[in-house]
Structure 1
Amino acid sequence: MTITVAHIQPIIAILAGILILVMPRLLNFIVAIYLIAVGVIGLGLFRHLS
């Protein structure tokens, strides 16, 4: 299985969800990192991965 940009967002969401369940205090940081990652991916800065 090759991992493309389309696979990165669900993987990040699953990891963020697990971390939030384990350590609720990390919620602000996880949401901020997730939003930054989604923005960078949305801008197409990782096009070389696909």
Structure 2
Amino acid sequence: MLTGRGEVEPGVEPMRPGKWWAALLCLAAAIGITRWIIAGAPPFGG
């Protein structure tokens, strides 16, 4: 599939688009964790 569009068999529900707010939340968490590590994250329990 090159276009991202395909035919589904009868009786099969097509996929729904993802939730934009969940993607934004994951991106914010990833940026926060990355910045924490770059800043010299202290080890857990220390």
| TM-score (norm. length: structure 2) | 0.41
Structure number with the bigger relative contact order (C-alpha 8 A, sep ≥ 6) is: 1
Structure index of larger Rg = 2
The structure richer in helix per residue is 1
